[in-house]
Amino acid sequence: MSSMLEIRWHGRGGQGAKTASLLLADAAFDSGKFVQGFPEYGPERMGAPITAYNRISDERSPLHSNIYEPDYVVVVDVTLLDAVSVTSGLKKEGAIIINTNKSPEELKPKLEGYTGRVYTIDASSIAEEVLGNRSLSNTSMLGAVVAVSKCIPEGKFMEDVKTSLNHKFATKPQVIEKNMTAIERGMKEVKSA
């Protein structure tokens, strides 16, 4: 199934990696794709490493398992580079997107010899500036993923994710525009090596 795109998210409990993967799945579904979006975690507490996954395809996928050879890896918390083998199975023609204020070149030594594309974005600073909380970097990371992977046309994605956010935050409409701003900045501010 060559048209399938697989994404693996690495974060810590409470940082929103699961939520971002589900928002991406919603938006991809709304744009006519077949999708899977699911987390992998047990009884971990806030701050414990978690993994979430996306499969996005033009055809229905017969696969129902974790993703072991992703096209893209998203690292919501840079400290996980020292705790988890985030590049395990990552395809060389894919890419890794890391939330950090460091350059891609500075992080390459921590990537276990990965020779593919490396992208960075200071999503924590965006979250602090736009949302008032550094730990809510998941929406800017989501924007970076869409910009790098091209899994959904950006204009269509912005329409679809706003619909999802309207549904998710129906009782908190004040956070919708701020999250949309964080997503848009994530799309524009992601940097490659």
What are the tens digits of pLDDT across the range 89-131?
999 999 999 999 999 999 999 999 999 999 999 999 999 999 9
Statement: residue 1 has pLDDT above 70: no
Angle, in degrees to the nearest 10, between helices 17-30 and 154-168 = 120
**Per-residue pLDDT tens for 11-69?**
998 898 999 999 999 999 998 999 999 988 766 677 889 999 999 999 998 888 899 99
| List of domains in the chain | 5-192 (3.40.920.10)
Residue recorded with tokens 């990696």: 17
Angle, in degrees to the nearest 10, between helices 138-149 and 174-189 = 40
Give the count of beta carbons closer than 10 Å to the beta carbon of residue 26. Answer: 19
What phi and psi values does residue 62 have, to the nearest 5 degrees? -80, -5
